[in-house]
């Protein structure tokens, strides 16, 4: 019986540390965006930002679309732009003792008219 407690603890630790109960997240890779030189003169608009995040609780449940594409789509939706140029991306991470975690991708780019 004394051998069961360490095994149960090991199984729980494995499940908790890997997101086996539920995980549905997207993370960014890299995408090409037009540079200012690719945009015709006079077509560059104001700078806009978009953010997309992933969330996790206790490492057991994770959700969200924190990918680059989702952040770009959010920026385009906010501005009404069809295209963004000179896009830059930043990642932020927030963690509270492993209980709650948030990782976000924030993009900044210029609208193209």
Q: What pLDDT digit, counting tens, does each position of 22-73 carry?
A: 556 666 566 677 777 788 888 888 999 999 999 999 878 889 988 889 999 9
Count up the domains in the chain and report the number: 1
Whole-model pTM: value is 0.70
Residue that the structure tokens 């019986």 belong to: 1
Separation between Cα atoms, residue 2 and residue 16, nearest integer Å: 22
* Residues spanned by the domain of 52: 4-112
Residue 109 has pLDDT above 70, yes or no: yes
Helix, strand, coil % over all residues of the chain, rounded to 5: 25, 45, 30
């Amino acid at each position: 019986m004394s051998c069961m407690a360490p095994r149960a603890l090991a199984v729980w630790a494995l499940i908790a540390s890997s997101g086996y109960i539920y995980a549905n997240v997207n993370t960014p890779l890299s995408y090409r965006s037009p540079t200012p030189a690719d945009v015709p003169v006079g077509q560059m608009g104001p700078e806009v930002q978009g953010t997309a995040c992933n969330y996790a609780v206790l490492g057991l449940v994770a959700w969200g679309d924190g990918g680059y594409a989702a952040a770009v789509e959010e920026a385009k939706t906010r501005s009404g732009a069809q295209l963004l140029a000179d896009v830059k991306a930043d990642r932020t991470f927030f963690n509270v003792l492993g209980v709650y975690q948030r990782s976000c991708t924030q993009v900044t780019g210029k609208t193209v008219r």
